[in-house]
Structure 1
Amino acid sequence: MTSDDAFAEILAVLTSLLGDLTLFLQGLLRPWNAYQIAIVAGVFLLAHILTRIIAPRVHTWMRSREGWAKWRMRLFVILHRRIRMILFVALIWTIVWVMREVTWPSRSYLLGIVAELTTAWLFIVVATRLIGNPVMRAAVRYGAWTWVTLSILGLTEEARRALDSVGVTLGESRLTLWLALQALILLVLMFVAARFLSTTSAARIRSNEDISPSMQVLAIKFLQVVLYGAAFFISLRLVGVDLTGLAVLSGAIGVGLGFGLQKVVSNLVSGVILLLDRSIKPGDVISLGETFGWINSLGARYVSITTRDGKEYLIPNEDLITGQVVNWSHSNDFVRLDIYFGTAYGDDPHLVRRIAVEAASKTKRVLSERPAVCHIVGFGDSSVDYILRFWIRDPTGGLTNIRGNVYLALWDAFQENGISIPFPQREVKVLEGSVLGRSEG
């Protein structure tokens, strides 16, 4: 089809639509059609007045339903926001039914169209609230509204011809707006189905305690890739797109990935390795360089780590593979902490060791099933140096704070038992014959 033929076909379709619109507007000038329009306006006004009366009472009643399930309350919130439309649909159908019983069907023709349109719009707006993604929800809603409106008005064939007449020719294939629209609709529907299956399956996998957290993440990611990939290719296949041409495209994409997206691919592969070898998993407490915190989630490109000060670090997966990572809770939750202190040479070291162990054991979070120990590690210039070792099993609660609490317990215990903690002292002696003077600033 040449461009002139396509333009002529578009012009013919637009002329046909313009003629239908002219006949429709002329029909509105007939008495019974004008009456029906007035009835629609009156029904809308009545529905608006009733909404002002009913909506506050329904809202008060909903606030008193505290024990309701979340899904039921959400459904009633959606319906509460559409009370005016619900009342309008109920009233307009009542009037249509009455008029079809007492007068000719042609005298309620417009009312029937309005009733069908508003009913379909109401159903679509309520049904699309189940779609979580706002962009996808808006696309499905407005697309469904457009298609239902054209169907009820009997303009689907004209719309299809208009969309099918606009397109481009690529080799032996012709890509039209109608084909693109079909592909888009199927793709959205397939992605909605894939998202639903992915969410449901992910909840099942997370609830299975026999699967480790890292394998749960791997299974969920693999399932998402399979479902969304299948949705994409099935949608293209259903609209008649030849998938053999994608082989060349995928090869070009592979070359681009090899040269321009090395870091991205490296992080993706590293993420799969981390999930397979289970060296880290959600909930583990790790330290990498100056970053210390617990893992929130394992992503395809990065690992989310939250520190004690509330900061969230996104560490690339490659850094966790190539760098030195300390996993405080890899095989178990037990963590040993060491603190150093010194006492004066005049204090009995046997008493110091016993008091230090007792002080640490009485501190909150220090484990009693793994007793603390205290050893002498050297004789310093002004003190006997000790190391105190104790165990905890909740590193997510912080390490600095527990060390501080043990130091404070040592301070109190040493004060009670007369044990001194030496500190460096300096003496300045003035030699005989020296003169002290003040320098002028």
Structure 2
Amino acid sequence: MTFDLDSQPQIIQRAAGFALQGWDIAKGWLLSPAAWSQFGLLIAAFVLAWLLTRRLRPMLERLLTPEAGKTSILATIRRFLLIFVPLLLPLLAWGFTAIGEQATRALFGSGAVIAFGKRIFLFLAARILVREIISDGFLKMLGRFVLLPIMALYALGFLDDSIARLNEMTISLGNIEFTVMSIIRGIIAGSILFWIGRWSNDQTGNFIKKQDDMPPATRQLASKAAEIAIFGLAFLLLMNIMGIPLTSLAVLGGAIGVGLGFGLQKIASNYISGVILLLEGQATVGDYVELDSGEAGTIVKTTARAMILETFDGRWIVVPNEDFITTRIINYSDQGSANRYEVPFSVSYDTDINLVPDIIEAAVATHPGVLQKPYPPDCEWRAFGESGVDFAVEFWVNGLDDGKNKFSSDVGFLIWNALKAHNIEIPYPRRVIEMRNAPSGD
């Protein structure tokens, strides 16, 4: 029975050709004494690597494991090297196999079998790297879907042919022409570069935030400048890796300029406004601000487009940077953290009101959060009310009268206790009811 491959689809013909080629290679290996000797060397290399790993791995783990709680540079390096200990077995097997390959090529003039085994050990090392060592989710995904397929092609000997085929396939985009291989290389390199850029940006940002001697606005500006520099450098490196000349991006830059002029005006305005805010230091993270609309909150995050405010009730308000430039914003933290508050109260008309200011001012001054500068507590008469004489005490404190700082509540208790201690009555509404033409009783 014969099977006509010529009548089958092209993909089946290629698969059959690869299968026949693999069968011929396997048959040659099975019938060749040199191949059997190479199989023996592979087994011997693996067994020797396994025996050495059993003895060396516990020693390396003890040597590289630092004492608990140590954060020195040496301890960090030891922890970093410790995570690569699982690669010891495949790398030792690869090294011993490489020595065996040199011996077989010198004796038999051939080393295809042992070279294949050496590639298999590298594939196993890559598999261990992805499954056991890499912990970052993005890098693990990149290793699973990019590194392992590439290493599998390399182990089977198809990598060079695959690269040649991909280099032959070209795609044109206007005046720019590039191969499919360059696109794949750009995707891989871009993913790695921008992951490195993100990691570098996080490390740089954390380092800048720890510089307490720098003003908050300067720290924010330095962090943003570092972010732009890191990702700009990553973009330039990616263009160089893909082989795209920067001059060819002139048309794209012109299109972006037109887009900014029409559809992206607000985005550009917000970005530039954010830079101005950072340079002038008018508002930064930690400032408590009140918007022109009446909403207020603490700035918890700044982005290239907007400021994010958190209110006392936990809501987040996203305010475009342009609003901080073009509208009226009250910044309670801009000129320092001292703020003035007042608490109103009333006393009975039977009270000698000349005594009230000294009593209340002395009582409020005992609060540990109340300041004597810029002004000490000040009790003022406000009005003759319907039920009593209205007063208010003004006082200065550091910070805001928010959830954690109950300044007004504490001062209210002090006023109550002081008035009670001096037998001063706090009035309540009283009404006199006059009955006219009331019927007389019998």
1:300 aligned to which of 295, 304, 309:
304
* Residue deviations 1:376-434 (CA, integer Å, cap 9, x gap): 12222332121211111122754872111111221122122111121222344444129
Aligned position for 1:227 = 230
* Residue identity in the other structure for 2:69: G
- Contact preservation (8 Å) 2:382, 2:391: yes
- Contact preservation (8 Å) 1:371, 1:391: yes
TM-score normalised over the length of structure 1: 0.75
Secondary structure, counterpart of 2:354 in structure 1: helix
With over 3 angstroms needed to count, the CA separation of the structure-2 counterparts of 1:275 and 1:96, relative to structure 1, is closer
Aligned position for 1:211 = 214
With over 3 angstroms needed to count, the CA separation of the structure-2 counterparts of 1:98 and 1:167, relative to structure 1, is closer
2:239 aligned to which of 236, 239, 253:
236
Aligned position for 1:247 = 250
Aligned position for 1:113 = 119
By relative contact order (CA 8 Å, sep 6+), the higher-ranking structure is 1
* Residue identity in the other structure for 1:227: I
* Residue deviations 1:123-155 (CA, integer Å, cap 9, x gap): 5667755xx5x3355326643334444445443
Aligned position for 1:333 = 337
- Contact preservation (8 Å) 1:287, 1:327: yes
2:315 aligned to which of 297, 311, 323:
311
Does 2:69 correspond to 1:67?
yes
Does 2:400 correspond to 1:395?
yes
Distance 1:403 1:161 in 2: 77
Secondary structure, counterpart of 1:423 in structure 2: coil
Secondary structure, counterpart of 2:194 in structure 1: helix
With over 3 angstroms needed to count, the CA separation of the structure-2 counterparts of 1:338 and 1:24, relative to structure 1, is farther
Does 2:273 correspond to 1:270?
yes
Aligned position for 1:161 = 164
Map 1:366-377 → 2, pairs under 5 A: 366-369=370-373, 370-377=375-382
Does 2:426 correspond to 1:421?
yes
With over 3 angstroms needed to count, the CA separation of the structure-2 counterparts of 1:330 and 1:17, relative to structure 1, is farther
Q: Identify which range, 23-32 or 182-191, moves more after superposition.
A: 23-32
Distance 2:237 2:348 in 1: 80
With over 3 angstroms needed to count, the CA separation of the structure-2 counterparts of 1:177 and 1:36, relative to structure 1, is farther
Q: Identify which range, 69-78 or 144-153, moves more after superposition.
A: 69-78
Q: What displacement does 1:353 show?
A: 1.1
* Residue deviations 1:288-343 (CA, integer Å, cap 9, x gap): 24433322222111212233333333322233233332211112111111121111
Aligned position for 1:349 = 353
With over 3 angstroms needed to count, the CA separation of the structure-2 counterparts of 1:261 and 1:205, relative to structure 1, is same
Distance 1:13 1:228 in 2: 43
Q: What displacement does 1:158 show?
A: 0.2
Distance 2:428 2:401 in 1: 34
Distance 2:358 2:284 in 1: 39
Q: Identify which range, 92-101 or 292-301, moves more after superposition.
A: 92-101
Aligned position for 1:380 = 385
Secondary structure, counterpart of 1:414 in structure 2: helix
Q: Identify which range, 400-409 or 29-38, moves more after superposition.
A: 29-38
Distance 1:366 1:409 in 2: 12
Aligned position for 1:411 = 416
Distance 1:14 1:163 in 2: 18
Q: Number of aligned pairs? A: 419
Matched-pair identity in %: 26
Q: What displacement does 1:372 show?
A: 0.8
Aligned position for 1:438 = none
Secondary structure, counterpart of 1:294 in structure 2: strand
* Residue identity in the other structure for 2:394: R
Q: What displacement does 1:94 show?
A: 7.0
Map 1:24-63 → 2, pairs under 5 A: 24=25, 26=27, 32=36
Unaligned segments of structure 2, at least 5 residues: 1-9
Q: Identify which range, 268-277 or 29-38, moves more after superposition.
A: 29-38
* Residue deviations 1:137-185 (CA, integer Å, cap 9, x gap): 5326643334444445443320112212333334565332112112223
With over 3 angstroms needed to count, the CA separation of the structure-2 counterparts of 1:231 and 1:78, relative to structure 1, is closer
Unaligned segments of structure 1, at least 5 residues: 1-8, 436-441
